[in-house]
Amino acid sequence: MQKHNLHKLQQGSVLIISLVIMVVLTILGVSGMKTSMLEEKMAGNMRDTQFAFQAAEATLKQAEQYIDQNIVSISSFDTDGSDGLYDKTEQRPWETINWDSSDSIEYSSFDTNYSITTPPRFIVQHLVSQTSNIDELNLDNYGQGTGAGRVDMFLITARAPGSSGNSVVTLQSTYGKRL
């Protein structure tokens, strides 16, 4: 008779405890999946940003070559920058221009294997013409040991989108050339 009373006292407590454990395990599984999905998105965004960064670096190099091969005087630099060349009177032109128009120069030989949505672009701004009569001209470590003369300093701003188009990297460098 005692066994019979013991069955009546239990009333399904094992079922309730096992359901609580199942709910806790389900919550842990769902939060683990959410964390995994978030980490995957973060890795994808990092990859996208790296593509954009590499493209912007390549664009800076292209802009330096552009200056070496195409800029023979500063007369082509003006305030409107309709050809991607700006003079020093325009303050921070990279913030106000339309990067998809003729206000900037497209990186013409960009490798399409990067899977970037639109080609990177750059602008060149003439900063200053520095003339020196001394034997060594050292202007921000450009021209050191090259002798006296005039060095024109340019600010290059390169802008490149990532492969998804959601990330954009803008890089700048200063470049000096003797004209």
How does pLDDT run along the chain (179 residues), one tens digit per residue?
455 565 565 667 788 889 999 999 999 999 999 999 999 988 888 988 888 898 899 999 999 999 999 888 888 888 777 788 988 877 888 888 888 888 898 887 766 666 677 889 999 999 988 876 655 555 555 555 555 567 889 999 999 988 887 889 999 999 988 87
What is the span of the domain harbouring residue 139?
A: 2-177
Distance between CA atoms of residues 138 and 60, nearest Å:
22
Instruction: Report whether 56 contacts 164 (CB < 8 A).
Output: no
Looking at this protein, which amino acid is placed at residue 73?
A: S
Q: What SS3 class is residue 29?
A: helix
Query: What's the pLDDT tens digit per position in 68-80?
Result: 998 888 888 887 7
Confidence at residue 1, expressed as pLDDT on a 0 to 100 scale: 47
Number of domains in the chain: 1
Residue that the structure tokens 């700006």 belong to: 86
Q: Can you give the pTM of this predicted structure? A: 0.73
Q: How many helices (H) and strands (E) does the chain have?
A: 2, 5
How is residue 78 annotated by DSSP? B
Distance between CA atoms of residues 100 and 138, nearest Å:
36
Confidence at residue 142, expressed as pLDDT on a 0 to 100 scale: 58
Confidence at residue 27, expressed as pLDDT on a 0 to 100 scale: 95
Confidence at residue 73, expressed as pLDDT on a 0 to 100 scale: 84
